[in-house]
């Protein structure tokens, strides 16, 4: 894990130099505090901030091939690199390091862009070809590792974080994109490859692109989330469970490969418990676990965590999170997310990675991704109940199933039967490609009343931003469509970014995700819908796969999604001083994203009663985080790059 950045001069102008690379890499020092590496060629420059995990002595980047015609910087891990290295050695390739990075460059020599099909890992890659004078960029299948880019004045800039682009050139455009802001206040994240900053794009998951003197090619897809219609045949639930277990065992083993100790997050839920138990039962890796507890018992899972700690005998560390902790850390969290967020949930993970680093660990396994690929979220359960009711609209019994949804919410929409019918739109068209997500989007869209006229001016429909998914959704049932949407529109752009990569790397910690091994995802895409959720039992196949290595209380416990207190964190005994700055009328008018009068009313409401409903919580956190983004990334963006960087390797 590292931070990468660089430039490519599309025109013949040679305005960029070593100092440009230093300015670009310094903002991501937190991603790679162990040293820096630089390369400059005729048209391109590459820079690398290193977090040493594999080949601690020899794995410095940039790395080249035998004849020094290809140069690479790489962020991430290739977990099957020993097997790939062996094959490449037999083909005559010579290696000078023991790193996974060098395997990529030789594999690219052999196969070009097709090399991506052989990689089992999480990565963002940049390769400069000195002979073709071209730049090749690629991102892993699920979008675990980020990669952003922008073009300014004939130069293509790229980096692991947007800060690197903004620090490359003072004239590079820094403006909020109103369309993407509207998407975030609908879906919780950007709909596609655009970011909240106009002109800054992210390379989509499972894509690569090439840049040369003719310009920037369109990103090309090499892999996509493979949800498909139920496969024919007579495979049983047990068949799928056994295959899933074997793949997860291998995925965990691969992700324990490192030259440093590897720990694990343990939330007390099924997913992280399954991963830690697989480590315990099928590897010899020392089991050190880390978890978050909450002083607010509504969000706390201490008892479940302790159950797993005692069951597995782990060396366990935990951090207790208070309202004040969340409020104090929130501006730093937004600085790392580089995008507005509608919930405070990333903040405890930010503090958790700090705990990991304090314990001198650089790598942790997590359970992220299981809910999306194996049918764990309540939104899938909700869609199933709605479709069940829709099939028999006159039934008086079926609507009672709505009461089974969201039992953990204090302000659940299922308290009133009539309100629940309207809220969940039980008469909606099941064939609508976005059927499962319409109620959620409707709820989140309630925050649009706070958006300024300038943002809402052209009446942009954010759902239009998802039109690129249309063809992929055509032949799927409502359940698989819902899963596809979660993976494509939310997981990479929010969960893996704002809660995953950014919160871990803020403290130089690498997260690894066994459930997101592409082989596991491909199997999950083939599991028939009727097996994924048996009645309303979510993640049915996963439960069968790991039931014998977990306590019954973990397997049978009702789903409790990871959440953190939102408004409650900011309006308790001590209100953070920064609220008066970020949410002042002057600052709101200057930023131009929200209506000051509406925000003022919301603040009064929150101060009067800090336990609010969905819309108010999302609106407040979204408005505050957007204002922080504006202040830190636009109005007052400045990163003082030192005259000289320490621990530098120039190639």
Q: Residue 630's pLDDT is what?
A: 98
Both 584 and 617 in a single domain?
yes
Q: Is the pLDDT of residue 423 over 90?
A: no
Predicted local confidence at residue 553, as pLDDT: 92
Residues 158 and 118 in one domain: yes
Of 398-412, 535-549, 618-632, minimum mean pLDDT range? 398-412
Q: CA 197, 199, 205 angle in degrees (round to 5)?
A: 85
Q: Write b or e for each residue in 462-499: b if 16 or more Cβ atoms lie within 10 A of its Cβ, otherwise e.
A: bbebbeebeebbeebbbbbbbbbbbbbbbbbbbbbbbb
The CA distances from residue 166 to 57, 352, 474, in Å, are: 32, 28, 39
Instruction: Answer yes or no: is 448 within a domain.
Output: no
Question: Which pLDDT value is given to residue 323?
Answer: 95
| Residue 634 near residue 200, CB atoms below 8 Å | no
Is it the case that residue 132 has pLDDT exceeding 70?
A: yes
For the ranges 122-131, 167-176, 222-231, 580-589, the lowest mean pLDDT is seen at 222-231
Tell me what the mean pLDDT of segment 469-492 comes to.
88
CA distance 490 to 536: 23
Residue at 650 is within a domain: no
Give the mean pLDDT of 35-49.
93
Domain count, the chain: 3
Could you give the CA distance from residue 416 to residue 305 in angstroms, rounded to a whole number? 34
Q: How many angstroms separate the CA atoms of 190 and 178, rounded? A: 11
Which H or E run includes 603?
A: helix 596-608
Average pLDDT over residues 111-137: 97
Would you call 608 exposed, middle or buried from its count of C-beta atoms within 10 A (0-12, 13-18, 19+)? exposed
CA–CA dist 311, 319 (Å, integer): 20
Are residue 158 and residue 112 in the same domain, yes or no?
yes
User: Two tokens at 189?
Assistant: 């994240």
Radius of gyration of the chain (CA): 24
pLDDT(651) > 90: no
| Rounded distance between C-alpha atoms, residue 66 and residue 399, angstroms | 67
- Indicate the burial class of 446 (C-beta count within 10 angstroms; 0-12, 13-18, 19 or more): middle
What average pLDDT does range 589-609 have in this prediction?
Answer: 96
pLDDT value at position 406?
59
Q: Are residues 523 and 573 in the same domain?
A: no
Per-residue pLDDT at 421: 56
Rounded to 5 degrees, what are φ and ψ at 605? -65, -45
The alpha-helical segments, DSSP class H, found in 469-575 are: 470-473, 478-485, 502-505, 518-526, 529-532, 540-546, 552-556
pLDDT of residue 240: 96
Euclidean distance between CA atoms 263 and 254, whole angstroms: 14
Of the pLDDT bands very low, low, confident and very high (cuts 50, 70, 90), residue 396 is: low
Q: Are residues 573 and 549 in the same domain?
A: no
Note whether residue 450 is domain-resident. Answer: no
Domain membership flag for residue 647: no
* Whole-number average pLDDT of the chain: 91
Structural tokens at position 386: 């709605």
Neighbours of 419 (CB within 10 A): 12
Residue 121: name the closest of 90, 151, 144 by CA. Answer: 144
How much is the pLDDT for 419?
Answer: 47
What secondary structure does DSSP assign to 102-124, as a single string?
HHHHHHHHHHGGGGGGG--EEEE
Please tell me whether residues 620 and 500 are part of one structural domain. Answer: no
Q: 101 is written with which tokens? A: 């990075």
Same domain (yes/no): 257, 387: yes
CATH number for the domain including 118? 3.60.20.10
Share of the chain above pLDDT 70, in %: 92
Rounded to 5 degrees, what angle do the CA atoms 483, 434, 470 make? 90
17-21, 517-521, 593-597, 609-613: the lowest-pLDDT one: 609-613
Q: Where are the beta strands (DSSP E) in 10-152?
A: 36-40, 44-50, 63-64, 70-78, 121-129, 134-139, 148-152
User: Is residue 289 within 8 Å of residue 307, measured between CB atoms?
Assistant: no
In tens, the pLDDT along 56-113 reads 776 788 999 999 999 999 999 999 999 999 999 999 999 999 999 999 999 999 999 9
Query: 262 and 152, same structural domain?
Result: no
pLDDT at 608 over 70: yes
Range in 398-407, 422-431, 432-441, 544-553 with the lowest mean pLDDT: 398-407
Domain hosting 423: range is 225-433+474-563
Q: Which of 163, 193, 224 is the last residue of a domain?
A: 224
Cα 70 to chain centroid, rounded? 30
Structure confidence by residue, pLDDT tens digits, 134-186: 999 999 999 999 999 999 999 999 999 999 999 998 888 899 999 999 999 99
Over 80: is that where the pLDDT of 52 sits?
A: no
- Does residue 368 share a domain with residue 344? yes
- pLDDT, tens digit (0-9, with 9 covering 90-100), for 433-452: 898 898 889 989 999 999 99
Asked if 359 and 414 sit in the same domain, the reply is yes
Model pLDDT, residue 45: 96
N-to-C CA span, the chain: 20
pLDDT tens for residues 490-527? 898 999 988 999 999 999 999 999 999 999 999 999 99
Asked whether residue 429 falls in the same domain as residue 493, the answer is yes
Domain boundary, last residue among 538, 563, 588 = 563
Residue 228 is predicted with a pLDDT of: 81
Last residue of a domain, one of 563, 596, 614: 563
Q: Would the pLDDT of 55 be above 80?
A: no
User: Are residues 588 and 549 part of one domain?
Assistant: no
């Amino acid at each position: 894990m590292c931070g990468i950045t660089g430039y490519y001069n599309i025109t013949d102008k040679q305005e960029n130099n070593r100092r440009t690379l230093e300015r670009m890499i310094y903002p991501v020092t937190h991603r790679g505090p162990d040293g820096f590496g630089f390369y400059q060629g005729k048209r391109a420059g590459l820079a690398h901030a290193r977090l040493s995990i594999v080949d601690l002595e020899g794995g410095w980047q940039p790395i080249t091939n035998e004849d020094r015609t290809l140069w690479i910087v790489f962020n991430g891990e290739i977990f099957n690199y020993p097997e790939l290295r062996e094959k490449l050695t037999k083909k005559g390739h010579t290696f000078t390091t023991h790193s996974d990075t060098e395997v990529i460059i030789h594999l690219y020599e052999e196969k070009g862009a097709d090399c991506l099909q052989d990689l089992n890992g999480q990565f963002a890659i940049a390769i400069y070809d000195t002979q073709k004078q071209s730049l090749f960029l690629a991102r892993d299948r699920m979008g675990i590792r980020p990669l952003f880019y922008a073009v300014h004045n004939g130069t293509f800039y790229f980096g692991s974080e947007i800060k690197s682009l903004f620090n490359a050139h003072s004239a590079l455009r820094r403006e909020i994109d109103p369309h993407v802001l509207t998407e975030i206040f609908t879906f919780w994240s950007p709909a596609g490859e655009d970011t909240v900053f106009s002109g800054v794009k992210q390379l989509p998951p499972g894509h690569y692109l090439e840049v040369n003197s003719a310009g920037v090619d369109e990103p090309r897809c090499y892999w996509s989330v493979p949800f498909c219609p139920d496969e024919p045949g007579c495979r049983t639930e047990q068949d799928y469970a056994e295959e899933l277990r074997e793949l997860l065992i291998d995925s965990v083993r691969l992700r324990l490969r490192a030259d440093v100790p590897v720990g694990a997050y343990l939330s007390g839920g099924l997913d992280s418990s399954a991963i830690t138990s697989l480590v315990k039962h099928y590897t010899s890796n020392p089991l050190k676990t880390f978890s978050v507890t909450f002083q607010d018992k509504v969000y706390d899972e201490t008892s479940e965590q302790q159950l797993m700690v005692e069951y597995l005998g782990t060396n366990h560390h935990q951090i207790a999170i208070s309202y004040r902790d969340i409020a104090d850390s929130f501006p730093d969290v937004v600085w790392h997310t580089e995008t507005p967020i509608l919930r405070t949930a990333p903040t405890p993970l930010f503090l958790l990675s700090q705990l990991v680093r304090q314990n001198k660990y650089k790598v942790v396994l997590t359970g992220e991704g299981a809910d999306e690929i194996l049918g764990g979220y309540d939104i899938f359960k909700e869609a199933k109940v709605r479709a069940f009711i829709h099939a028999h609209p006159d039934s008086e019994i079926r609507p009672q199933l709505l009461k089974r949804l969201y039992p953990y919410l204090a302000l659940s929409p299922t308290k009133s039967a009539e309100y629940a019918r309207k809220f969940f739109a039980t008469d909606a068209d099941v064939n609508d490609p976005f059927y499962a997500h319409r109620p959620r989007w409707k709820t989140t869209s309630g925050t649009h009343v706070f958006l300024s006229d300038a943002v809402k001016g052209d009446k942009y429909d954010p759902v239009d931003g998802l039109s690129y998914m249309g063809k992929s959704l055509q032949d799927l049932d409502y359940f698989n469509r819902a899963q596809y949407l979660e993976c494509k529109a939310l997981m990479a752009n929010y969960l893996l970014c704002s809660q995953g990569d950014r919160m871990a790397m803020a403290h130089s910690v690498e997260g690894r995700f066994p459930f997101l091994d592409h082989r596991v995802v491909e199997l999950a895409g083939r599991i028939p819908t009727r097996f994924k959720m048996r009645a309303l039992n979510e993640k049915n196949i996963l439960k069968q796969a790991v039931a014998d290595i977990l306590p019954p209380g973990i397997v049978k416990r009702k789903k409790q999604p990871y959440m953190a207190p939102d408004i409650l964190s900011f309006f308790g005994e001590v209100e953070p001083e920064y609220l008066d700055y970020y949410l002042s009328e002057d600052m709101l008018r200057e930023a131009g994203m929200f209506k000051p009068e509406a925000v003022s009313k919301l603040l009064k409401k929150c101060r009067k009663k800090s336990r609010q409903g969905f819309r108010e919580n999302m609106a407040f956190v979204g408005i505050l985080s957007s204002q922080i983004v504006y202040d830190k990334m636009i109005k007052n963006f400045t990163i003082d790059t030192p005259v000289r960087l320490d621990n530098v390797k120039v190639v």
